[in-house]
Amino acid sequence: MPLPTEPDRPYDAIIIGAGIIGCAIALSMTRKGYRTLNIDALPAAGYGSTSSSAAVIRTYYSTLDGTAMALEGYHDWSDWRSCLEASAEEEDGLAHFIETGTLVMKTPADNHQKQVLEHADTLKIPYRHWTADDIRNALPGYDLTCFAPARTMDDDAFGTPTGGALQGGVFFPLGGYVDDPQLAARNLKDAAARRGADFRFNTRVVSIPVTANRVTGVVCESGETIRAGIVINVGGPHSGRINALVDGAPGIRIGHRPLRQEVVQIRPPESLGYSRQGLIVSDNDIGCYVKPGSGGQLMIGSQNPPCDPHLEMDPDDFSRDLTDRALTYAYRFSQRLPGLGVSQHPVGIADLYDATDDWLPIYDRSDIDGYYLAIGTSGNQFKNAPVAGRLMADLITRCEDGGDHDRDPLQFRLRHVDHTLDTATFSRKRELTRQSSFSVLG
């Protein structure tokens, strides 16, 4: 538990970042009695990469612990007001979870979802096998011809069928999306503030001093020093740069870096009957995922097939203009809906993900006492934010109470799901997780 604060150290913990996970950590730590301060270089909570999130809520991952964490997160979003402990009067100002269900195509590349379904069976996650006819009934006009492997438009074989057709998919009824990801971050921020958490925006950290192998706080660009015995890096695409500000090595073995991602928005044909409640579809055969967007549009993103190489970018200097990549995703999806109609001047979102080498997050301590990591989370951890907040609060408390997390990792018991997470899954020192999809799917 936190010690009483001192006059020259008004905070127990400084959280660098006020995106969806940074705000969730603030809420969970204030519930444990910590006096917290979130510092963010941007003007508001959730203003950075959180605001660009597809905000998909799904219950399938490549690992058992990842699946259990996502199922736990689903229960949080399903009763968002209770998760926040908000009053009925505050409900009008909350983000909304739109439950649509999610459809995952069965393809040879993912062994027809065998591994995913094993995890679902273990955790008793409901699902239904859909035949090709079931898919066409739900998505009129949908063409299930096989085109794998996914290609770019400059490949002469782009759009050429490669033999056969998809025979079906798996429908997971527990899933959907959050209608306003930035508002969801603000909801968490407000809930934490009601418990005493402080937030500073438009403030950049330039140094994280260390004395006797323990962080002592942060130094801001203004020259101000803010003292605290705990500093948590939740900097999203800037997390690598934040680690470089520490006076010492955090001891991270697995790589993570800011990667450019694009999502294109297309208006679907009327025949599809797509709406705000339309299905979320994951289709590895064409290397795309699709979800409902604002105004009845479709949002189409990449599932990171080999033809879409990772593009590492400077988080302080990158273009938000869409490129031919966005067009490629739209045309790949038009193989499923030939009447889609793709504009040569697409609209959509370009932003950065902070992704690890195996696309699973790092939720961990570091080699420096008091310095903690919630990084490598972009792309597939929005749905897990409330759970990550609780996990980090428990992990930090255990370490600050003298627990040896590196030798004896926290076993984190979930609230809504009959499962205990082995947090070694999210260790900074792990080897590559071979079960991973090595994609945004996690």
- The encoded tokens of residue 62 equal 């490549």
Over residues 201-209, the mean pLDDT reads 98
Q: Using an 8 Å Cβ cutoff, are 307 and 155 in contact?
A: yes
Q: What does the H/E/C string look like for 90-102?
A: HHHHCCCEEECCE
Provide the pLDDT for residue 295. 77
Lowest mean pLDDT among 44-53, 115-124, 290-299: 290-299
Over residues 222-248, the mean pLDDT reads 97
Provide the pLDDT for residue 341. 80
Provide the pLDDT for residue 235. 97
Q: Using an 8 Å Cβ cutoff, are 172 and 178 in contact?
A: no
Residue 85 binned pLDDT confidence (cut-offs 50, 70, 90): very high
Provide the pLDDT for residue 430. 97
Is 5's pLDDT higher than 60? no
What digits encode the pLDDT tens for the residues 375-410? 999 889 999 999 999 999 999 999 999 999 999 999
From 163, 101, 105, select the one nearest 132 (Cα to Cα): 105
CB count, 10 Å around CB of 394? 17
Mean pLDDT over each residue of the chain, to the nearest integer: 94
Is 4's pLDDT higher than 60? no
Over residues 330-338, the mean pLDDT reads 92
Radius of gyration over every alpha carbon of the chain, rounded to an integer in angstroms: 22
Over residues 338-367, the mean pLDDT reads 91
Provide the pLDDT for residue 43. 97
Lowest mean pLDDT among 216-230, 292-306, 311-325: 292-306
Region at 45 (left for phi over 0; alpha for psi -120 to 50; beta for the rest): beta
Q: Using an 8 Å Cβ cutoff, are 393 and 29 in contact?
A: yes
From 34, 29, 24, select the one nearest 84 (Cα to Cα): 24
> Interior CA angle at 268 toward 264 and 270, to 5°?
170
Residue 217 binned pLDDT confidence (cut-offs 50, 70, 90): very high
d(CA 246, CA 235): 13
Residues 6+ apart with CB under 8 A from 358: 254, 432, 433, 436, 438
What digits encode the pLDDT tens for the residues 260-279? 999 999 888 777 666 656 89
Q: Using an 8 Å Cβ cutoff, are 432 and 254 in contact?
A: yes
What digits encode the pLDDT tens for the residues 404-436? 999 999 999 999 999 999 999 999 999 999 999
> For residue 348, which amino acid is it?
G
> Interior CA angle at 292 toward 328 and 78, to 5°?
135
Residues 6+ apart with CB under 8 A from 182: 44, 45, 46, 47, 50, 51
Is 345's pLDDT higher than 90? no
Tell me what percent of the residues of the chain surpass a pLDDT of 90: 88
Provide the pLDDT for residue 274. 65
Over residues 44-54, the mean pLDDT reads 95
What is the model's pTM? 0.96
From 60, 24, 97, 49, select the one nearest 385 (Cα to Cα): 24
Provide the pLDDT for residue 3. 55
Domains of the chain: 13-72+180-255+358-426 (3.50.50.60), 99-175+258-356 (3.30.9.10)
Q: Which helix (H) or strand (E) holds 191?
A: helix 181-194
Provide the pLDDT for residue 275. 63
Helix (H, G, I), strand (E, B) or coil at 151: coil
Residue 216 binned pLDDT confidence (cut-offs 50, 70, 90): very high
- The encoded tokens of residue 16 equal 């660098």
Q: What does the H/E/C string look like for 307-345?
A: CCCCCECECCECCCCCCHHHHHHHHHHHCCCCCCCCCCC
| Residue in the block written with tokens 């590559």 | 432
Provide the pLDDT for residue 300. 95
From 95, 18, 17, 106, select the one nearest 55 (Cα to Cα): 95
Buried/exposed code over 89-101 (b: 16+ C-beta within 10 A; e: otherwise): eeeeebbebbebb
Provide the pLDDT for residue 184. 98
Give 403 or 339, the one with higher predicted confidence: 403
Is 340's pLDDT higher than 90? no
What digits encode the pLDDT tens for the residues 363-377? 999 999 999 999 999
Residue 85 forms beta bridges with which residues? Answer: none
Over residues 247-260, the mean pLDDT reads 96
